[in-house]
Amino acid sequence: MKIQAAVSREGARHPQIEAVEIEDPRPGEILVRIVASGICHTDIGVHGRPGPRPFVLGHEGAGVVERLGPGVTDLAPGDHVVLSVNFCGECPSCRRNAHSYCYEVLPRNFGGLRPDGSSPLSQNGARIFARFFGQSSLATYSLADARCAIKVPADIPLEILAPLGCGVQTGAGSVIHSLRLGTGDSVAIFGVGAVGLAAVMAARLVGAERIIAVDLVPSRLALARELGATDTIDASSGDAAKIIRDLTRYGVSHSFNTANAPIAYTQSLACLAPRGVAGFVAPPRAEWAPDMFHLLSGGRALRGILGGDTTPSLFIPMLIDYYRQGRFPFDRLIKYYPFEKIAEAFEDSTTGTTVKPVLRMPN
For 197, the 3-state DSSP assignment is helix
Q: How far apart are CA 69 and CA 147, in angstroms?
A: 12
Distance in Å, CB of 57 to Zn ion, minimum: 10
Residue closer to Zn ion (CB basis): 102 or 148: 102
Distance in Å, CB of 196 to Zn ion, minimum: 13
Residue closer to Zn ion (CB basis): 80 or 108: 108
> Which of 295, 281, 222, 209 lies closest to 252, judged by CA?
209
Q: How far apart are CA 260 and CA 129, in angstroms?
A: 27
Cβ partners under 8 Å of residue 263, min gap 6: none
Strand ranges (DSSP E) for the chain?
2-8, 16-22, 29-38, 55-56, 61-68, 80-83, 121-123, 126-128, 141-145, 149-151, 186-190, 210-215, 231-234, 252-257, 272-280, 301-304, 334-338, 356-360
Residue closer to Zn ion (CB basis): 63 or 308: 308
**CB-CB contact of 14 with 343 (8 Å):** yes
Q: How far apart are CA 281 and CA 344, in angstroms?
A: 25
Distance in Å, CB of 312 to Zn ion, minimum: 12
Residue closer to Zn ion (CB basis): 133 or 212: 133
Distance in Å, CB of 173 to Zn ion, minimum: 12
Residue closer to Zn ion (CB basis): 87 or 256: 87
Distance in Å, CB of 85 to Zn ion, minimum: 9
Residue closer to Zn ion (CB basis): 22 or 88: 88
Interface contacts to Zn ion, rule CB under 5 A: 40, 42, 87-88, 91, 94, 102, 166
Cβ partners under 8 Å of residue 90, min gap 6: none
Distance in Å, CB of 167 to Zn ion, minimum: 5
Distance in Å, CB of 185 to Zn ion, minimum: 26
Cα dihedral 196, 198, 201, 205 in deg (nearest 10): -120
Residue closer to Zn ion (CB basis): 190 or 230: 190
